[in-house]
Structure 1
Amino acid sequence: MFHVIPRAEQKQSPNRTILFEGGKYGTPVSLFLMDAEPGQGPALHVHPYPETWLIHSGEAEFTVGEQTLIGKAGDIIVVDPGTPHRFVNSGNTRLEMTCIHASDHVIQEWL
C-alpha cells in the first residue's frame, strides 16, 4: 500500500507553509514544508517529541532553550523533546526548510 498526496491537495497556509500529518496515512511522522519570507517564523513553542529541521535554502536564526544559532542551507538541526524553540528567516531570501515531527500528528504548545 502507498499514498500519493498531489500538490494541489496539500494544505497551504497564507505564508506558503504546508502541513502534513502522517497519522491518517499510517506513518508516525508529520512535517511542515516551510517557504518563509525574511522575518517570518513561528513564536516560541515546545513539543513532547524531538523535531528535526533540514534547511534546503536560505538561513534561519534558531533559539533553542537558552542558545541561539544560525542554520544555513544543507544544515540538519535536531532539538530534544520538551525544549522551547523558535526560528526566524534571518536572511534576505526565502527560507525553504523541512520541519520533521516524530509524531503522527503535530502536538505544539505555544509559550
Structure 2
Amino acid sequence: MRTIDSEWIHETTPLYGEFEGERCGSDVSIIFTRLDTPGRGPALHQHPYSETFLIRKGVVRFTLGKRRVDAVAGEIVVATPETPHQFVSLSDEVEMIDIHASGRFITEWL
C-alpha cells in the first residue's frame, strides 16, 4: 500500500513532521525530529508502548526514568512502555527518527 501524501517530505527541506500509521493500516507511527538549537526538546512524558529513537545527526541527552544517556549519530535509544522520558539537544543540529510502536500517538505529559 502506498502512503498518504504527507507534508513532512519535500526535496528542498530536511525530513520533519509526523506520520500516524493507523491511517494506512500500520501499527507504527513516526516522528521526524529536527532540532536546531541546543537545549531544545519535549517535556517529560510517557507512552503505553515503546518508542525507539534513531539518531541521524548530532548529540542528544535522553532521560529514561532515572537514567541519563547521551547518544550520538548512528546510535539507537529505546524508551520502554510506561517509562517517563524526554530528550534535549546538546548540539546545534539534531535529526532523529522516533518510532512509536502504535498506529496512533498516545502521550501522557508528566
Instruction: Give the counterpart letter for 1:56 in structure 2.
Output: R
Residue of structure 2 in register with 1:79 after alignment: 79
Structure 1 outlier segments of 4+, above 6 Å = none
Q: SS where residue 24 of structure 1 aligns?
A: helix
Instruction: Give the counterpart letter for 1:95 in structure 2.
Output: V
Q: SS where residue 22 of structure 2 aligns?
A: helix
Q: Mind listing any 5+ residue stretches in structure 1 that lack a counterpart? A: none
For 1:83 and 1:40, how far apart are their aligned partners in 2?
A: 20
> Is contact 1:34-1:96 (8 Å) kept?
yes
Instruction: Give the counterpart letter for 2:74 in structure 1.
Output: G
Q: TM-score, normalised by structure 2?
A: 0.88
Count of aligned positions: 104
RMSD over equivalenced CA pairs, Å: 1.6
> Is contact 2:4-2:24 (8 Å) kept?
no
Deviations 1:61-83 (A, max 9, x none): 00000011101000011111000
Q: TM-score, normalised by structure 1?
A: 0.87
Q: Does 1:104 align with 2:103?
A: yes
Task: Give % identity.
Answer: 43
